[in-house]
Structure 1
Amino acid sequence: MSIDHTLNMLETLKYYCDSEITQTFSNDKQQVLSVCYLKNNHSFEITYTETNIKKNFRQIESAAEAIEKALR
């Protein structure tokens, strides 16, 4: 997936923040992570499936880079 596609999906999550959408990312049909936008603190929360560790990113570019890195 291209970084532009990931950025577009994150922008969509942010735009529809009142809908509480969670986007799941998989690699070879294996769930790798999920991401949602937290309106209350204006950040993207990434939850890594294997470890259940959550990380928050205020900058959309940082969140996209973390997603791309996890999918490699």
Structure 2
Amino acid sequence: MSFDTVLRMLNTQMNFKESEIIHTFCSKDQTPVLSVIYQFDTETFLLTYIETQRTEKYTAINKLADTIDQYLNQQPLEV
């Protein structure tokens, strides 16, 4: 998945503030590895590493997209 695709997905979450959109990224064997939600009241993205349940907060969309892009390019993943 390209950086631009990830960025477009995150922008969609921000633009549909009235809806709860959760993007889940899966490995090739369809195991969920990452999830992202947007909290419109705090204007914060929450990135969760599903295996460890560790959550990171992001307010800068480009930084989050870069983090996701780097993680996805470490291993063969699909969305």
Shorter-chain TM-score bucket reads over 0.9
Q: TM-score if structure 1 supplies the norm length?
A: 0.92
Deviation at 1:54, TM superposition (A): 0.7
Query: In the alignment, is the contact (CA less than 8 A) between 1:32 and 1:70 conserved in 2?
Result: no
Q: TM-score if structure 2 supplies the norm length?
A: 0.85
Residue 16 of structure 1 aligns with which residue?
Answer: 16
* More relative contact order, 1 or 2 (CA 8 Å, 6+ apart): 2
Letter in 2 for 1:25: F
1:18-47 alpha-carbon deviations (Å, 9 max, x no partner): 101101011212211000111111111101
How large is the RMSD of aligned CA atoms in angstroms?
A: 0.9
Identity percentage of aligned residues: 36
Q: Which one has a bigger Cα radius of gyration?
A: 2
Deviation at 1:11, TM superposition (A): 0.2
Deviation at 1:17, TM superposition (A): 1.8
Residue 43 of structure 1 aligns with which residue?
Answer: 44
**Which runs of 5 or more residues in structure 2 are unaligned?**
75-79
Higher helix proportion (structure 1 or 2): 1
Residue 60 of structure 1 aligns with which residue?
Answer: 61
